[in-house]
Amino acid sequence: MTIMNRSIKLAILSALVAFATLPALAQDRIATIDLRKVFDGYWKTKQANAALKERGDEMEKELKGLVADFETAKGEYQSLLESANDQVVSITEREKRKKKAEDKLKQLREDEQTIQQFQRQARTTIEEQQRRMRDNILVEVKATITSKAKAGNFTLVVDTAAETPNRTPVILYTSDPDDLTDAVLGQLNATAPPEVNLQESTEGSN
């Protein structure tokens, strides 16, 4: 489970493309950056993805427990139903067993609703956590890009990894004379804890 949202990148790119049409830009400096590589290679993204996976695994384990209890209850209901139809016992006893079977069926329906509600809530929780982590990381990434751009006197930084709505590249050619990708990623990862495997993170972004 990853937390990069393509729509966020497209929104940023749209603003950049619109800005690029200004006539005054002809005299200004333009830099490029692979935002996908920076985002995926940032140690906090790796950390956030690990946290999301852990939370997802916990919820999946809990869901499996609920489903297992439901299957057990369903088996008990079938046994009660068969027992209620046993012609060997008295009518009174069959009625008692039938009442137990009806109660068990009511419990099954409630359990089924509980499972469905848990699934909906789990999906919402993960999506909200994913969005929150993504937004926080993008704020840091954008701040670092802005800092590098100002230091290099760049007016515009274009994302070379951005795509159009039909998933074709927006930047078809660039000589990349001033690419900020490694510089930005290096600055972001300068504070990475020792336990974070940056090499693995970088390979995963390619």
User: Is residue 73 situated within a structural domain?
Assistant: yes
User: Is residue 49 situated within a structural domain?
Assistant: yes
User: Is residue 198 situated within a structural domain?
Assistant: yes
Q: For residue 169, give the amino acid letter.
A: P
pLDDT one-digit tens code per residue, 27-81: 678 999 999 999 999 999 999 999 999 999 999 999 999 999 999 999 999 999 8
Give the pLDDT of residue 21: 46
| pLDDT mean over 104-125 | 96
Question: Where on the phi/psi map is residue 193: left (φ > 0), alpha (ψ -120 to 50), or beta?
Answer: beta
Higher per-residue pLDDT: 153 or 1: 153
User: Is residue 1 situated within a structural domain?
Assistant: no
Range of the domain at 186: 6-204
Q: What percentage of the chain has pLDDT greater than the value 90?
A: 59
Q: How many structural domains are present in the chain?
A: 1
* Lowest model confidence (mean pLDDT) among 4-8, 70-74, 125-129, 184-188: 4-8
User: Is residue 123 situated within a structural domain?
Assistant: yes
User: Is residue 67 situated within a structural domain?
Assistant: yes
CB 188 within 8 A of CB 42: yes
Give the pLDDT of residue 205: 43
Element (H, E) at 30: strand 30-33
pTM over cut 0.85 = no
User: Is residue 92 situated within a structural domain?
Assistant: yes
Give the pLDDT of residue 4: 53
Rounded-to-integer distance, Cα 28 and Cα 156, Å: 8
Give the pLDDT of residue 3: 54
DSSP assignment string, 135-203: HHHHHHHHHHHHHHHHHTT-SEEEETT-B-TTS-BS------TTB-HHHHHHHHGGG--TTS-HHHHHH
The mean pLDDT value of the chain amounts to 84
CATH number reported for the structural domain that contains residue 98 in this entry = 3.30.910.20
pLDDT one-digit tens code per residue, 146-157: 999 999 999 999
- pLDDT greater than 90 at residue 19: no
* Lowest model confidence (mean pLDDT) among 9-23, 57-71, 117-131: 9-23
Phi, psi dihedrals of residue 197, rounded to the nearest 5°: -90, 95
pLDDT confidence bin for 106, thresholds 50/70/90: very high
Give the pLDDT of residue 199: 67
pLDDT confidence bin for 200, thresholds 50/70/90: low
User: Is residue 109 situated within a structural domain?
Assistant: yes
Give the pLDDT of residue 27: 60
CB 194 within 8 A of CB 188: no
